[in-house]
Amino acid sequence: MPFSLDNPSEANIPDTLVLIACCSRKLESAAPARDLYKGALFKFSAAYCQRHGFRWAILSAKLGLVDPGQVVEPYETRLSGRRADQALWAERVFDSLLRRRFPKRVIFLAGSDYRRELAALLVAAGVECHAPLAGLAIGQQLGRMKALNAR
């Protein structure tokens, strides 16, 4: 069944993991990751996951895969636009996923730099991957997540 942001209860099957990209706006001191990131798209995406009971994690340019409750110090690292760097980062995140409850389905609420290489590894491992915001400009993504949270 394809994932739809409009029907989260139908898509929240066991072993689904939502991966949300980090953002540059952060608190100035260490905090649980769910609170550290201050960007509007991040906040709306996290709120959506919490509201609908999705298991979720954060894709951090610096730290790789981060649990929402993990205490994180602020940092200023961006994911490089170079495919080779993205591939190394994706391998690190994939290895982290292997050490956890490995998902059967991943829903990316993240841009292509965070998604492309990691999704390829996941699909090769038999994981169903969805990117419901792909192809939307950042403002459209923000509007979509804001509207979903207003329902």
Residues 6+ apart with CB under 8 A from 35: 27
Q: What is the pLDDT of residues 33-88, one digit of tens each?
A: 999 999 999 999 999 999 999 999 999 999 999 999 999 999 999 887 888 999 99
pLDDT of residue 129: 95
Cβ atoms within 10 Å of 48's Cβ, excluding its own: 22
Which residue carries 């982290």 as its tokens?
A: 96
Query: Domains plus CATH for the chain?
Result: 15-150 (3.40.50)
Cβ atoms within 10 Å of 147's Cβ, excluding its own: 11
Q: Do 39 and 75 contact (CB within 8 A), yes or no?
A: no
CA–CA gap between residue 126 and residue 140 (Å, rounded): 30
Q: What is the pLDDT of residues 79-127, one digit of tens each?
A: 878 889 999 999 999 999 999 989 999 999 999 999 999 999 999 999 9
CA–CA gap between residue 16 and residue 143 (Å, rounded): 24
Q: Which residues pair with 65 in a beta bridge?
A: 59
pTM of the predicted model as reported, rounded to 2 decimal places: 0.93
